[in-house]
Amino acid sequence: MQSRIVAFIERLQQVTTFEGFQSLIEELQGLYQVEHFVYHSINSAGEPYAALTYSLDWVDHYLDRDFGRIDPVVLGCYQRFHPVDWKQLDWSGKAVKSFLLEATDAGVGNQGFSIPIRGPNGQFALFTVNHRCSDQEWATFTNAHVQDLLLIAHYLNQKALEIERGTDKLPDQPLSPRELDVLTLIGMGKSRGHAADSLSISEHTLRVYIESARFKLGAANTTHAVALAMARGKIIV
């Protein structure tokens, strides 16, 4: 699977149009063998953009009814920074229950996992995977793929911003030797404790190096920082 993820990201980096972006969203269905993927973004001007695999009839109905006002996924994720399983959200209330029934009838699965993304200048985006299966099957899937999904989510958002504005790249800032060491060890699968021991530093100091590297790379989290460092040839794992 990892080689396929790398190949997917390489193809994504070559995309220059929203049409190509949509095609890669559809490709994820086969890659992960799930029913739906959704990337939805709202830029700093309040303009929306979405690439998704839901039926167009459902998308039109969703927009016509302005379901974003009550959708627990949108409302819940806007208040969070970490991935959210839909079962953690509040689906009570008459209007929400009615919305859920309509979504189910339109082919939206009973399981969902959404990743909130916050970009530059107030940009907010969501990356969602949706499927129809049991709770146990879904827990197994999300536990197995959460790191890949986080990585893909942030690469998709970066690409969407590039397409919209021409570029989303910031001036490259060099990483210190110690920052490179830390990212290399984390990229090799070492725990933070083991990485700190290997470098003869405390875990607190290790976290300082990680956060510094993450800021310089413009990464959303540690996994994203390692991936960006690898993609830019700064580290080899």
78 or 51: which leads in pLDDT: 51
215 or 55: which leads in pLDDT: 55
CATH number at residue 154: 3.30.450.80
Residue 45: pLDDT over 80: no
Q: Is residue 84 part of a domain?
A: yes
Give the per-residue pLDDT at 83: 92
Do 104 and 124 lie in one domain? The reply is yes
Q: Is residue 172 part of a domain?
A: no
Q: What is the 3-state secondary structure (H, E, C) of 75-144?
A: HHHHCCCCCEEHHHCCCCCHHHHHHHHHHHHCCCCCEEEEEEEECHHHCEEEEEEEECCCHHHHHHHHHH
Average pLDDT (63-86) is: 89
Q: What is the pLDDT of residues 131-148, one digit of tens each?
A: 999 999 999 999 999 988
Do 117 and 202 lie in one domain? The reply is no
Average pLDDT (47-75) is: 89
Do 125 and 36 lie in one domain? The reply is yes
Tokens linked to 4:
């396929």
Do 161 and 186 lie in one domain? The reply is no
Q: Which of 133, 165, 197 is the last residue of a domain?
A: 165
Do 133 and 218 lie in one domain? The reply is no
Q: Which of 112, 141, 165 is the last residue of a domain?
A: 165
* Domain tally, the chain: 2
Give the per-residue pLDDT at 42: 76
Q: Is residue 236 part of a domain?
A: no
Residue 46: pLDDT over 70: no
Average pLDDT (11-36) is: 92
CATH number at residue 194: 1.10.10.10
Do 158 and 217 lie in one domain? The reply is no
Give the per-residue pLDDT at 173: 74
Q: What is the pLDDT of residues 100-138, one digit of tens each?
A: 999 999 999 999 999 998 777 667 899 999 999 999 999
Q: Is residue 170 part of a domain?
A: no
Confidence of residue 168 (pLDDT cuts 50, 70, 90): very low
Give the per-residue pLDDT at 231: 76
Range of the domain at 127: 2-165
Do 156 and 181 lie in one domain? The reply is no
Do 113 and 215 lie in one domain? The reply is no
Q: List the one residue out of 184, 67, 49, 54 whose CA is nearest residue 125.
A: 49
Q: Which of 165, 186, 210 is the last residue of a domain?
A: 165
Residue 181: pLDDT over 90: yes
Confidence of residue 218 (pLDDT cuts 50, 70, 90): confident
Do 75 and 100 lie in one domain? The reply is yes
> Residues near 71 by Cβ (< 8 Å), separated by ≥ 6?
99
Q: Is residue 81 part of a domain?
A: yes
Q: Is residue 190 part of a domain?
A: yes
> Residues near 151 by Cβ (< 8 Å), separated by ≥ 6?
5, 9, 223, 224, 227
Average pLDDT (206-223) is: 82
Do 159 and 181 lie in one domain? The reply is no
